[in-house]
């Protein structure tokens, strides 16, 4: 078997705002495996400024993996504990190599175009007019679950936007989730959650910055609306530490981003521990290309989660790869009569 990696920069169609700043591009890397006349591809979507493996030796570690690919998947995963996005890329690449066409990683009713996945519509940060425009667009597109990024513009304006949605749509009509990306100070968070709870929100993601277990635990105990941990899970590698976090903080939900927490294996471990701790969960992509999104979506379908998932970012980029993944009526579909086109990567498949 031979392995190589290809860096690739995704370009946003429109600059996308988060509480960490404006995103215009997103770097990603692809591991390509070749064995006889077959190929496998996996995406290592390290997220600069967020991923724990945002390190100066990231590409040299990718090269080490390619040079030692004959160690096999399990031994390599053990050696890559501190590089969760490379772990995920490897899992994906080996699954791809085993598949019939390189892309049908988890054959199911989803990949047979007989089933779909409920997803949330994502509203990016911006001024009031821009956010309002996005909200109307998502509602017109048939979404019944909307996730709104908050924490970067005036809080009162964000409350007004939520109020405007609720004046038109009840909680039975539209499920509203908000994501603060750690933007609130611990001293102000509870009061802000009380204000937000007036709009019958499903949940709020990461209200305060990660690493403040005591403050987060107090918030989860007193909160008037469910709290979902997101960034809090990043960099927690050991099972015992994961269990400790869940029992110390006692969140209502955790959000699993395979790219950031060690792929399928790391996510499955969190799910098992969450079940034991009676903590809810759902899966979210992390601005991967359609190659990474495809793997996450196919795996997510196998979990049979009843909640809307955080998938469907493929339309954000100008230079994404044509794929069978299509969003319609607030659900993600795999239309297997559509073909993959990864010619931008210049891989001889």
Question: Which residues carry out catalysis?
Answer: 149, 257
DSSP 16: E
Please list the residues that pair with 301 across neighbouring strands.
none
Identify each DSSP E strand in the chain by its residue range.
2-18, 21-35, 38-44, 117-118, 121-123, 145-149, 175-179, 203-205, 227-229, 253-256, 280-283, 325-328, 331-334
Give 49-113 as a 3 state SS string. CCCCCCCCCHHHHHHHHHHCHHHCHHHHHHHCCCCHHHHHHHHHHHHHHHCCCCCCCCCCCCCCC
Distances 280 to 113, 146, 271 between C-alpha atoms, Å: 28, 18, 9
Strand 203-205 and strand 175-179: the pairing is parallel
Chain centroid to CA 44 = 13
Q: Measured between alpha carbons, how far is 23 from 67 in angstroms, rounded to an integer?
A: 33
Asked whether 258 and 282 are in contact (CB, 8 A), the reply is: no
């Amino acid at each position: 078997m031979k392995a190589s990696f290809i860096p690739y920069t995704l370009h946003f169609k429109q600059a996308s705002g988060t509480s960490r700043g404006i995103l215009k591009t997103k770097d990603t890397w692809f591991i390509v495996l070749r064995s006889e006349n077959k190929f496998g591809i996996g995406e290592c979507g390290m997220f600069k400024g967020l991923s724990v493996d945002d390190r100066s030796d990231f590409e040299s570690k990718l090269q080490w993996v390619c040079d030692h690919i004959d160690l096999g998947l399990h031994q390599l995963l053990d050696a890559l504990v501190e590089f969760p996005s490379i772990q995920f890329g490897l899992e994906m690449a080996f699954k791809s190599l085993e598949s019939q066409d390189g892309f049908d990683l988890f054959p199911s009713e989803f990949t047979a175009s007989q089933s779909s996945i409920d997803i949330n519509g994502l509203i990016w940060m911006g001024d009031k007019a821009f956010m309002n425009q996005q909200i109307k667009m998502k509602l017109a597109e048939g979404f019944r679950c909307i996730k709104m990024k908050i924490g970067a513009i005036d809080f009162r304006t964000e409350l007004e936007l939520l109020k405007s949605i609720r004046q038109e749509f009840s909680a039975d009509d539209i499920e509203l989730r908000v994501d603060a990306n750690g933007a609130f100070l611990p001293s102000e968070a509870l009061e802000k959650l009380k204000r937000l709870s007036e709009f019958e929100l499903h949940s709020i993601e990461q209200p305060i910055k990660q690493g403040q277990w005591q403050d987060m635990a107090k918030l989860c105990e007193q909160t008037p609306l469910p709290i979902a941990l997101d960034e809090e899970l990043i960099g927690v590698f050991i099972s015992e530490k994961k269990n400790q976090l869940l029992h110390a903080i006692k969140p209502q939900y955790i959000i699993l981003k395979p790219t950031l927490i060690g792929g399928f294996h790391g996510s499955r471990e969190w799910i098992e521990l969450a079940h034991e701790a009676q903590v809810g969960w759902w899966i979210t992509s992390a601005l991967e290309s359609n190659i990474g999104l495809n793997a996450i979506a196919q795996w997510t379908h196998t979990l049979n989660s009843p909640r809307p998932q955080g998938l469907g970012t493929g339309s954000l980029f100008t230079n994404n790869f044509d794929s069978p993944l299509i969003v319609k009526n607030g659900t993600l579909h795999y239309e297997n009569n559509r073909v993959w086109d990864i010619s931008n990567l210049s891989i001889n498949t």
